[in-house]
Structure 1
Amino acid sequence: MPVIPPPVMALGFAAVQHALAPKEGAGPVRKAAATALAAGSVGLAGAAVARFREARTTVHPLHPEKATTLVTDGPYRRTRNPMYVGMAGALAAHALGEGGLLTWLPVAGFVLAIDELQIQPEERVMEQKFGDAWDDYALRTKRWL
């Protein structure tokens, strides 16, 4: 498992976005679209965390072995990783708000890094821990969207 928590990874990619952003500010339409995307993304991630808390299972991304319940409802009906989709959406909102094409590179970098370094190891643990229930869930629910 990685040693950098995913929210810290996302903040690092956001810092790179900021460094790559053009100097001119966003117009009102782009700001509004970025704000809406950010709100939806934070809402999705927040709903996912709330669902884990309701199920009384861990939200600690560096210790998936501590999971006590396989959560497959709520936002988890549509994606196996709504917290990470929310983080990627927040980065996309930041790219939209900052403007420029280069600000989208860290979004892609985050998705690739989180998929390889976090999600795949997590899913191996879930498969070992929850067996057939995990396999059934993984077959019917996409990793991202």
Structure 2
Amino acid sequence: MPVVPPPVIALGFAGVQRLLAPKEDAGTARKLAASVLAAGSVALAGAAAQRFRAAQTTVHPLHPERATTLVTDGPYRRTRNPMYVGMAGALAAHALGRGGLATWLPVAAFVVTIDELQVQPEERAMERNFGAEWDDYALRTKRWL
């Protein structure tokens, strides 16, 4: 498991995007599209975190072994990782708003990094905690989208 929480990792990649972005100002349409994508991404991540709180299980990304409930409803019906999808969406919104092709590279790098450092270890913990229930869920629900 990483020692840096995923939101901090996402913020680091957002900083890289800022460095890679062209200097020109985004147009109104691009700003609007980026705002809509950002709002949807934040709403998705927030709804996912709310489902964890409602199930009274841990939302702490560095300690998935403390999970007491396998949450499979709400946004978790469509993706096993809606919080990370939301973070990737927020980075995509940032890339869209900043412009330039290079700003999309940190989005891809975030997905690869989180998948390797966070998602796969989390999934091993879920398999240990929930066994066949996890296996069934993982078979019917995609990891990302």
Question: 1:1-26 deviations in whole A, cap 9, x for unaligned?
Answer: 11010000000000000000000010
2:53 match: 53
Amino acid at match of 1:89: G
**CA separation in 1, counterparts of 2:116 and 2:17?**
21
CA drift of 1:101 comes to 0.3
1:102 match: 102
2:4 counterpart SS class: coil
**CA separation in 2, counterparts of 1:79 and 1:25?**
34
How many residues are paired up? 145
What are the within-5 Å matches in structure 2 for residues 45-124 of structure 1? Answer: 45-124=45-124
CA drift of 1:110 comes to 0.1
Moved over 4 A (4+): none
CA drift of 1:139 comes to 0.1
2:131 counterpart SS class: helix
Amino acid at match of 2:37: L
**CA separation in 2, counterparts of 1:4 and 1:19?**
21
1:36 match: 36
Give the TM-score of the pair, scaled to structure 1.
1.00
CA drift of 1:43 comes to 0.2
Give the TM-score of the pair, scaled to structure 2.
1.00
CA drift of 1:97 comes to 0.1
Amino acid at match of 1:137: Y
Calculate the aligned-residue CA RMSD, in Å: 0.3
CA drift of 1:51 comes to 0.4
**CA separation in 1, counterparts of 2:77 and 2:128?**
21
**CA separation in 1, counterparts of 2:140 and 2:3?**
30
Amino acid at match of 1:142: K
Question: 1:99-128 deviations in whole A, cap 9, x for unaligned?
Answer: 000000000000000000000000000001
List alignment gaps of at least 5 residues for structure 2.
none
2:16 counterpart SS class: helix
List alignment gaps of at least 5 residues for structure 1.
none
